[in-house]
Structure 1
Amino acid sequence: MKGALAWPFLRLYILALFFFSANAILNVMIPLRGHDLGATNATIGIVMGAYMLTAMLFRPWAGQVIAKVGPIKILRWILIINGFALILYGFTGLEGYFVARVMQGVCTAFFSMSLQIGIIDALPEEDRSQGISLYSLFSYIPGIIGPMIAVGIWQLDHLSYFALTMIIIAITTGIVGFSATLHGQDDADTAPAQPEKMPYGPMTVFLQLFKNPFLLKAGTIMLVASIGFGAVATFIVLYVNTYQVGHASLFLAVQAVTVVFARFFLRQYMPSDGRWHVRFMLGVLGLLTVALFFIAVGPYVGAWILYISAVMIGLTQAMVYPTLTSFLSFKLPKVGRNMLLGLFIATADLGVSLGAALMGPIADMVGYANMYLICAILMALITIMSIERRPQFIEK
């Protein structure tokens, strides 16, 4: 096979699958373990949120470091650190989980940027979008089976199985990652000899979020939507245990299957012409608003509405990020575009982190159902904000 389906790239996609499989298990296992240890929702939220918050802070800097050192060399160092973080989960409590989540956040910031930059640099222009789509697709696949594995380990009530699972994932990811190449290129070939001078620094780039109207609009929408995604990912397991409605592993699996299906079969319906499509955005964001409301009323209606909401969340998750990224790729200035796109990705990281760290204390005060109702209200407001008539937005 050639292009994005050539063996060196398939190996990178498989590496992404193994790398993110640990997180698919941890997203369920950490809240369950925290609850067993008597932790509050606020504490669980802080531990879970540390992952994406760290990734957000390191992501803009990661792009510059990778440009100087080379994606493959960075990738191998990151896999070593990630291996230590995964092993730490098997032998510590919540304090160790927090340290491991921070380590994972750093690793994820560099890992995702390394793979995406490596794929973009090594593929011809006509194959790049397919390569990134396949990378994204493989990163979501673990979400189908990971939650079920986590619930199974938790029900066995023996931490040795959890530790063994993390060790196996760490070793397997390391073996696949250390053999990764890009068409036989070494790091000297993949790292540019004279990196382009960036117009923004790792800190000053954050000011562009408020100066650039396109970045402000897309970033704000992505931030609030990600709060909803983060609240679901972190607390749906405890929500199900509290209200005894549905099965969390089935909910998360349905959501992940929907994301994979939508990314593969509905990609031609996602706008990619540099214009702001108001009806499309209203529809996609409206789906998430209704889905969060369905979760809020789930204890009173039944499990069936919970699974419908999982499908709706999966559809939104599959479409909102690629659509906004494509829009920004047309509207952002060419000089420093990658850093600004990294900043947009950082808003998604921050949103997921806030969905855990901010919504945890709220759940302690008002309960899970009312917490999801608050998320639905926030999404309703941001859906209204997506109505945009300014010429620079709706014109190509």
Structure 2
Amino acid sequence: MSGAMSWPFLRLYLLVLLYFSANSILNVIIPLQGGALGATNTTIGLIMGAYLFTTMFFRPWAGHIIQMHGPIKVLRIILIINGFALILYTVTGLGGYLVARMLQGVSTAFFSMALQIGIIDALPEKDRSQGISLYSLFSYIPGIVGPLLALGIWQGGMEYFAIAMTIIAIFTGVFGYSTKMDKAETQSFTKNAEQGVNMFNSFGQLVKNQHLFKCSVLMLVGSIVFGAITVFIPLYAEQVKNGNAGIFLMIMAVTVVFSRFSLRKKIPSDGKWHSSFIMGTMLLLAMGAQCVSFAINGGAIFFYLGATFMGIAQALLYPTLTTYLSFVLPQMKRNVLLGLFIAMADLGVSLGGIIMGPVADFYSYSTTYMICAILSVAMLFFAYDRRKIFVG
């Protein structure tokens, strides 16, 4: 096999699988543990949101540092930080969870940027969307069994949680240290800041650059919906007749994995803005959120149907927008500006817990997901563009 499916890239995807396997467990354990300790939805949302909120701030700097030193050197350092964060979960309570989430956020900012920049730089343009899609696919494979494993850990005792986190930390560190990127790691990376982009000035590009602005708003809103689903489904499922959080998250993860693999060649990789494709994706997101909202009355059928719609939308949205930006952003600024875009995705997931937590406290989970559906519908109009080519 060659291109995005060659062995060096398969090793990278396996590393992604190992790295994100911890999160598939933590996304279930932390809300359940918080609920058991009497924490409010607002508190749980803050703890869960701290992870990607921290990641958001470090994304642009990650892109800049990786541009200077290359992905491999950065990757090996942040795997140590990630291992420390995972061990910290095993010896602390909710207060320690907050610190661990922030450390994990720093690690993820550099990890994901290192791998995605390496993939983009190493693959030819025609394979770029497949590489990004497969990266995203392998980050969701742990979600197939992770939630069910987490529920088993929760029922069996938290001592199993400590064992699982320790094993994941060790295996990820050892496997990641030996990973190579071949062409990507041999590229010359500039150490001259003047050849890159001023970090503080780059934030203005979120508004000034029309391509980055459009993609960032779409990704922000989509991620708010994904974040609200991830944080509160373990608690909402207990209110849905015959609802099971593990099955919901498993269905969503299986759908993401299947859709990303089967549709990876359908994702546009030509530098053009495909309004109908993006609008269709946002419509699926709206339908998924509304099905989850209605499940409190409609039951498990709508609950799991919502998981399917959400999975397809999540499979398509991120790789489509990322691939598009990889074509239209200025080459010298691309890494940092991609970091800003991915930071908007992180911010959205964080806000899904931080903002929607108080909504769930004052109203209900069902109302929270109805608001998510309304936001998604609004993005249908935002995604529309009469121009077929959206070139920078």
- TM tier, smaller: over 0.9
Contact 1:11 / 1:176 at 8 angstroms: preserved in 2? no
- Deviation of 1:186 (Å): 11
Match of 1:246 in 2: 243
Identity rate, percent: 56
Q: Deviations over 1:63-106 (max 9, x none)?
A: 11122223222111111111110011111111100000000000
- Does 2:109 correspond to 1:109? yes
> Per-residue displacement from partner, 1:353-386 (whole Å, max 9, x unpaired)?
1001111111101011111111111112222222
User: Within 1, Cα distance between the matches of 2:246 and 2:388?
Assistant: 44
2:207 pairs with 1:210:
yes
Q: What is aligned with 1:151? A: 151
Q: How does 1:94-243 map to 2 (within 5 A)?
A: 94-123=94-123, 127-156=127-156, 158-183=157-182, 189=186, 192=189, 194=191, 197-198=194-195, 200-243=197-240
SS of 2:34's partner is: helix
SS of aligned partner of 2:223? helix
TM-score (norm: length of structure 2):
0.93
In the aligned structure 2, how far is the partner of 1:268 from the partner of 1:312? 20
Contact 2:31 2:44 in 1 (8 A): yes
After superposition, the Cα gap between the structure-2 partners of 1:240 and 1:198, relative to the gap in structure 1 and judged at 3 Å, is farther
Alignment of 1:307-346 (within 5 A): 307-346=304-343
1:286 alignment partner, one of 280, 283, 300: 283
Aligned mates of 1:294, 1:126 — CA distance in 2: 36
Tell me how far 1:117 sits from its aligned partner.
2.6
Helix, strand or coil for the counterpart of 1:336?
helix
Between the aligned partners of 1:387 and 1:9, the Cα distance in structure 2 is 35
SS in 2 for 1:267: coil
C-alpha deviations, 1:176-227, integer Å up to 9, x for none? 01222234x897x456265574553223212111112222222111111110
Question: Is the contact between residue 42 and residue 357 of structure 2 (CA under 8 Å) also seen in structure 1?
Answer: yes
Structure 2 match to 1:351:
348
1:323 shift after superposition: 1.9
Structure 1 pair 256/270, CA: closer, same or farther in 2 (3 Å)? same
Q: List per-residue Cα deviations over 1:271-305 (Å, max 9, x = no partner).
A: 33333333222221111111111111101011011
Deviates further, 80-89 or 324-333: 324-333
Post-superposition offset of 1:314 = 0.7
Q: Distance between the aligned counterparts of 1:302 and 1:62, measured in 2?
A: 44
> Is the contact between residue 67 and residue 195 of structure 1 (CA under 8 Å) also seen in structure 2?
no
Which of 246, 257, 260 aligns to 2:257? It is: 260
Contact 2:46–2:353 (Cα < 8 Å) also in 1: yes
Shift in alpha-carbon separation, 1:186–1:365, aligned structure 2, 3 A: closer
Displacement of 1:37 in angstroms is 0.8
Find the counterpart in structure 2 of residue 53 from structure 1.
53
Residue 237 of structure 1: how far off its partner (Å): 0.8
Which one of 347, 368, 382 corresponds to residue 385 of structure 1?
382
Cα 1:258–1:179 shift into 2, 3 Å: same
Contact 1:71/1:190 (CA < 8 Å) preserved in 2?
A: no
Matched AA of 1:217: K
Change (3 A) 1:108 1:192: same
SS at match of 2:272: coil
Distance in 2 between the 1:228 and 1:124 partners? 33
SS at match of 1:12: helix
Structure 2 unaligned residues grouped into runs of 5+: none
Give the conservation status (yes or no) of the 8 Å contact 2:224–2:350. Answer: yes
Question: Contact 1:41 / 1:360 at 8 angstroms: preserved in 2?
Answer: yes
RMSD: 2.2
Provide Cα deviations, 1:238-265, integer angstroms capped at 9, x if missing partner. Answer: 0012344411111111111111111111
3-state secondary structure, aligned to 1:62: helix
Question: How many residues are matched?
Answer: 392
Stretch of structure 1 that moved more, 322-331 or 193-202 = 193-202
